[in-house]
Every structure is written in C-alpha cells, then in structure tokens.
Structure 1
C-alpha cells in the first residue's frame, strides 16, 4: 500500500465563502517587514518621511499585476484555454522578475515626480526587497510549487531537513527537491551581505546592483533545477534573464568605477 502524507492546509482562515491563503499572508508579511526596514533606513538617509509608504502603495499593486502578466504571457498556451484562471492569483503563478520589472519602473517614475535620486532610493530598498523574496518563497512551499525534480525521502533526510519540509515535498506520490528552500536561504544570505555592504559605504547605485548580481547568480543555478520554469522555446526565461542581469550589473559597476567620476556614497 502506498504511503499517505497529507500536505499542509493552504487555507489559513476560512470565513464562510472567503478563504485567506497562507500564500498571501506570507507574501504580505515579507512585504511588511521589508517596508519597516526601509522606513527605518529612510530616516537615517535623509529622505522625506513616509517616502517608502507612498512608494509601496503605488508600486505594490503594479508589481503584482506585472508579476501575473509576466507569468501568464509565458504560460499563454494554458491560459488561452482557461481565461477565467488568469485572475486566479491565489492559486500561485506570479513571476518575481515580472514583479521586479514593474516595481523598478514604478520607482523610476515615482522618484522623477518627487525629485528624488532613483539610485539612492533603490540602494535603501535593496535589502528590503531581498528579505521579502526570502520570506515570500515560503508561500511557494505552502502551495507545493517552485520545486525541483524528483528525489527520494532518504536524500531529503540526508540533508537534515525538518520533517514538515520533507512531508510537504511529497506531491502526488513523489518526493521533490525543495528548490524554494535553496532560493530562500540564498536570499537570506544576500540580505545579511547587503547589510554588511551598507557599512562599506559603496558608491550610490552599487548596493542595488550588488543585490541584482547576487540574486541573479543564485537564480541562474536554482532555475536549472526547477521543473516549472517559464520557457521561451527551449530556453528557461528566468535563467537567461539572470545571466543578462549579472553581465549588466557587473558592467555598470565597472563603468562607474573606471570613469572615476565622483559619485555620492551610500552613507553621505
């Protein structure tokens, strides 16, 4: 007789016909903690009060819409047949790169309207963003998504993972590699690294680009392990985009340094 392991309940609270999912709660928690961190730093760096509250009120909904659009575009063969599912974001199916594109574009416009330096705001936001990503990956865990290929329970136990993670990786009779966990750990390490780099007093823009490079390096490897990658023909979209970001981020930092232009520093 096959093994029976019940997955964790995706629904955190049910109020009649209303379901509140752990996925949404976890994503919101990551965003809130990131916002609190950014608000604390904005006071130190001399930004006008409530800059990040105003920014997130505009950027968050745009980022969510862009994340969903990005995902739907690359899964159009499915959504063309199931158009009612396009708005079913509570079932998962948002792409972090889509969210980042939407958030960055919104921040550029926001800073232009407010007369703020985009790079200064982006530097302050960088640790908050990667912290939110680290926490948000646990929403994927609750949905049993963003995992890797098949593996065995013995292999997972050899990684010394808690039992609740191993059990949640048992999906339709098969154990899977917990790539959501790999990315979460990578992001938490990146968060600590960015906090340390703040004290190094990098030139303006370099902290944000360090985030971009760090995240892209991890994603370029982890994406190759996943079974649910968004594809463009034979290409894994997120993996190729990660490589492009590594090149662009590194090139931009080198360009700033080689020009020897006097740029404001983070702690100025």
Structure 2
C-alpha cells in the first residue's frame, strides 16, 4: 500500500477568495487547448478559424461548464436537485459530468460554427485532438481533491483516501489520467493530420478524429469504471454497470456510428 499524499486542495487563500488546484487544472486545460488549436489552425492555414478563435473558445468554455453541471444534475443526482432547485447552478459545491460537458461543448460548437459559417467537422477535429490534455490535468485535480477514487484493492499501489474509509483503494483517477490523458493524446495527436491529407492518397474524412475520440474515450472510461467506486446515490445498474459505463457505452456506440457515417459521406 502507498500512502496517499496529503495535498491541500487550496493553493492560496486571499480573504474569502480561494485559489484551488482543481480550478487551476481547468485553466491549464483550457489554455493548452487554445494554444494547440491555434497551432493547428496556423499549420493548416485556416485563417477563418484563427480570426474567430477567441470567441469560439469562450463559447466552448460556457458549453462545457453548463453541460457538465446540467449533466451531473440529470444523470447523477436528479432527485436531489428536484428537491433543491436553487442548488442546480451551485458549481462551486462540486458535481460536474464529463459526458454532459462533452454534449454541451458539441452543442455550443455546432451553434457557433453555424452562425459564423465555419466547417464544424474541421473545427471539431482540431479541438478534440487537444481534449486529452485537459482530461489529464482534470484527473490530477480529482486526485488532489481525494475524490472519484477507486474500489477496494489489495494491490501494492492501492491508497487509503481521506473520504474512502479505512480500506486501500485503486487510485482510479491516475488510471484515467494515464488512459484518457496520455494514451488518448498520443493516439489522437498522431492521427490529427489524416483528415487534412490529400496526397499521395486521400486522408480520412473530416469528423474522423471526433469519432475516434468518442470511441476511445468511451472504451477507456468503460474499462476503468470497473475499478472506480460507483456513485453512492446510484450504485450499479442491474448489479453490473455504473452510470459512467452506461454513458460511456453510449458514447462508444455514437462514435462508431459517426465514424461509419463520415466514411460514407467522404467528409
């Protein structure tokens, strides 16, 4: 067993204002995505996107936050928030859903691209190739907060988390940081040029990187959920699957459908 590192979730406090590691991870993730998308837009000479990048980023951030919060309310704790509607937007109290944030970002992206006459599929490919960077830092933030820990384990690297009782548990946040962050980034970044390739043979259709992201993230998250402690208010569905697995399975299937559709359309 490895001792859980006691890291204060608050970096610094200035009166009532507290700067937290988790919030800093969000800032790092969004900033990294901005820089990497700007790099790709310049590399592929997509000047129209570069001109709209600041506005698009702000739109996507709003979509992620609103979608993530509403996703948590609807998917994970609906009964509670129906009884306490004033707390629905109390994001500072915790409770965000990645799947909801993903839907929110996609919806915001479709709306923005439609209004600004940008090619949504091209933009989605550029952005999702950078998402694993934010996921990596976000999972580190979960680990520092001691939240979303794993199920009991007797493995040598299991840890006793402050809120997880006396039993050693899987550090599932670190598993997710590795798979959803490092591994997923390496795969997507190595494939990011394929939709833009025209010679000597046509590349993948635009939208393929988005589809690949949905497939791989859905698959990785589905597997890790077997080691992650289910949400106490939900437990396991049919005594087998967590809500995260249900949503990730749907994400995996949607990615497969999107891959086939874009392949047939030719992008």
Instruction: Return the TM-score normalized by structure 2.
Output: 0.83
Equivalent positions of 1:85-234 (< 5 A) are 85-152=87-154, 155-156=156-157, 166=159, 171-187=164-180, 188-200=182-194, 201=197, 202-229=204-231, 231=234, 234=237
The separation in 1 between residues aligned to 2:235 and 2:51, in whole angstroms, is 40
Cα–Cα, structure 1 residues 168 and 39, in superposed 2: closer, same or farther, change >3 Å?
A: farther
Structure-2 residue corresponding to 1:28: 27
Deviation at 1:115, TM superposition (A): 0.6
Deviation at 1:253, TM superposition (A): 1.9
The separation in 2 between residues aligned to 1:167 and 1:146, in whole angstroms, is 13
Q: Are the equivalent residues in 2 in contact too, given 1:130–1:211 (CA < 8 A)?
A: no
Structure 2 portions without partners, runs of 5+: 198-203
Tell me if 1:66 matches 2:67. Answer: yes
Instruction: Return the TM-score normalized by structure 1.
Output: 0.82
Cα–Cα, structure 1 residues 68 and 232, in superposed 2: closer, same or farther, change >3 Å?
A: farther
Cα–Cα, structure 1 residues 198 and 241, in superposed 2: closer, same or farther, change >3 Å?
A: same
Structure 1 runs of 4+ with >6 Å offset: none
Cα–Cα, structure 1 residues 28 and 84, in superposed 2: closer, same or farther, change >3 Å?
A: same
Structure-1 residue corresponding to 2:16: 17
Deviation at 1:5, TM superposition (A): 7.0
SS in 2 for 1:225: coil
Q: Are the equivalent residues in 1 in contact too, given 2:236–2:243 (CA < 8 A)?
A: no
Structure-2 residue corresponding to 1:160: none
Deviation at 1:172, TM superposition (A): 4.0
Cα–Cα, structure 1 residues 58 and 10, in superposed 2: closer, same or farther, change >3 Å?
A: same
SS in 1 for 2:55: helix
Q: Tell me the number of residue pairs that the alignment of Structure 1 and Structure 2 aligns.
A: 249
Deviation at 1:233, TM superposition (A): 7.9
The separation in 2 between residues aligned to 1:23 and 1:168, in whole angstroms, is 17
Q: Are the equivalent residues in 2 in contact too, given 1:169–1:177 (CA < 8 A)?
A: no
Structure 1 residues 191-226: Cα deviation after superposition (integer angstroms, max 9, x where no partner) = 111111124442211011111111010011112322
The separation in 2 between residues aligned to 1:6 and 1:252, in whole angstroms, is 42
**How large is the RMSD of aligned CA atoms in angstroms?**
2.6
Structure 1 portions without partners, runs of 5+: 158-165, 264-268
The separation in 2 between residues aligned to 1:262 and 1:22, in whole angstroms, is 43
